[in-house]
Every structure is written in C-alpha cells, then in structure tokens.
Amino acid sequence: MGFFEERKGGGAAVALDEIEISILRTLTVQLLELIGPGIPEDADPLAALFAEGPSEPPSDPALARLFPDAYGSPDGAAEEGVDPAETVERSAEFRRYTENDLRARKRDDALAVVRSLDGLTPGGDGVAVLELTGELPLRWLGALNDLRLTIAARLEITEDEQGAALVGLPDEDPRKPIVMAYHWLTGLQESLIETL
C-alpha cells in the first residue's frame, strides 16, 4: 500500500492500486452519507446564509466525534467547577451557528476525494498515480482525518494505544478489515502531513 510523497513542483503524489482506490472511494462515499445532504443548490442564498443548524449534539457516536460540543461535556464542566447547564447552553448556541458550515466543509472535502479518485485511470499494472496540487492536499487531509475519526468511533478507539492493540486481532474477527483500513488511513494521513 502506497503512501504520499513530495511531488516535483509542489503538492503530493501517491501510487494507488485498484483495490486501494475502491476502498478509499467506498469509505468516503459512506462518510458523505453519514454527514448527510447539504442545503439544496436551488435554495434561496440569503435564507441559506442565515439557516440555523441543530442545537442538540448528534446521537450517533461517529457524528458526535466529527461534530463535538465546543465547550465539552456537562460532566467535565462540573468537575472543573463550571455550571453544567451553562456549558450545555453555550455548546447548543455554538452548534446552532457553526455546524451547517462545518458539515458543508467536511462534505466538500469528501467530495474532492471522490472526484480525485474518479479521475484516476490505473495502468496495465493496476496502479494509478494520484497527484494533489493547489487546495487538494488540504481537502484530502481533512477527509482522511474525518474518515479516521469515524472509524475510530465505530471501533470505540479513544486513545492511540487502543488502535495499536487492535492490530493483533485474529483474522476471523469481523473488525479486522476495518482495523487494517484505520491503520492504513493513519499512515496515509501522516505521510501527507510530512509531505506538506
């Protein structure tokens, strides 16, 4: 499995085989489905500009990881001597005015990944070289991070050590393929950061 390297002239490049392209595309499409649709393109632009987002945190653990409370949990606030009700109120207000934009950015990042992958044509050896320039490296970085956070939530990984411990799962464990994808995405993300 390939990792990003510096591209001559700037940006980053990675060689991906057909299976890697398929895995990345499938995971990213699933991420798009999880994030959900945005404001319709034919919506009134002024109304869209002032549209309020949700005030409640998502119930899905993966979405809660992608869209965390800005002011932490009420339990954590109480431990720090802060009024939990005030923390909930501040988080709700912050979420209401920022989550739509954050969802749009995450959606745009994921769409950039899908479009990049769709533009690849593997050669006779089944490998294609993906070259990222301009804003694409940052879009990919955002989407790779979102994919990792989503998978980590599904695997209940909250610390790096937990992810490392899952590598030793037996092959018959149904979590094994997604654990391997998680570590591959981690390597892709780290190599892209180093390249940039």
pLDDT digits (tens, 9 = 90+) for 10-58: 899 999 999 999 999 999 999 999 998 866 666 666 666 566 777 787 8
Q: Which residue matches tokens 């989503």? A: 150
- Domain boundaries along the sequence of the chain: 5-195
Q: Which residue matches tokens 């207000």? A: 93
Residue 132 · residue 116 · CB < 8 Å: yes
**How far apart are alpha carbons 145 and 11 in whole angstroms?**
18
Residue 127 · residue 136 · CB < 8 Å: no
- pTM of the complete model: 0.86
Q: Which residue matches tokens 């149904």? A: 174
CA dihedral over 58, 59, 60, 61, signed as positive or negative? positive
